[in-house]
């Protein structure tokens, strides 16, 4: 069964998606106002990116009101998984080990982040052990 792939968002599109993940369904004006806190962004630019995101299937648009309300079509986690999977295959030839080593080595992980990574490793090991025991 072939896995359905969703188009990858650009950096500018990701900034809009981050607003939608943080704030939830929002109007163009609301998204523009939030983006303007970090960098001046024109309303028409945000609108155009939202139209592109809608065409790509990355946002949904509620047109029942005069002012359209946009929502992220995928959760932040789903989008991150797709982007990591794409990066894993393109840059690391499918090697999760190399991806993790580069990620940890490129920026010093905080003690909290390292604890979370270790917790995740234990969880995966336990899950793999349970799967092998079921065979």
CA distance to 37, 77, 96, 115, per residue, from 112 (Å): 29, 20, 21, 5
- The Cα–Cα gap between 135 and 127 comes to 13
pLDDT tens digits, 108-121: 788 898 899 889 88
pLDDT tens digits, 2-61: 455 678 899 999 999 999 999 999 999 999 999 999 999 999 999 999 999 999 999 999
pLDDT tens digits, 51-93: 999 999 999 999 998 999 999 999 999 999 999 999 999 999 9
Is the per-residue pLDDT at 1 higher than 50?
A: no
Q: Where are the beta strands (DSSP E) in 24-133?
A: 59-62, 69-72
pTM: 0.78
- CATH 3.30.310.40 assigned to domain 11-72? The reply is no
Domain ranges for the chain? 11-72
- The Cα–Cα gap between 11 and 18 comes to 10
- The Cα–Cα gap between 35 and 54 comes to 19
């Amino acid at each position: 069964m072939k896995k359905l792939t969703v188009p990858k968002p650009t950096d500018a599109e990701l900034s809009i998606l981050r607003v939608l993940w943080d704030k939830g369904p929002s109007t163009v004006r609301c998204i523009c106002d939030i983006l303007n806190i970090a960098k001046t962004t024109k309303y028409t630019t945000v609108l155009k990116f939202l139209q592109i995101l809608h065409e790509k299937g990355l946002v949904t648009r509620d047109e029942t009101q005069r002012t359209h309300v946009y929502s992220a079509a995928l959760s932040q986690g789903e989008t991150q998984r797709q982007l990591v999977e794409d990066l894993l295959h393109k840059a690391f030839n499918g090697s999760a080990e190399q991806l993790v080593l580069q990620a940890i080595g490129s920026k010093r992980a905080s003690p909290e982040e390292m604890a979370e990574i270790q917790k995740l490793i234990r969880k995966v090991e336990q899950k793999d052990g349970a799967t092998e025991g079921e065979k």
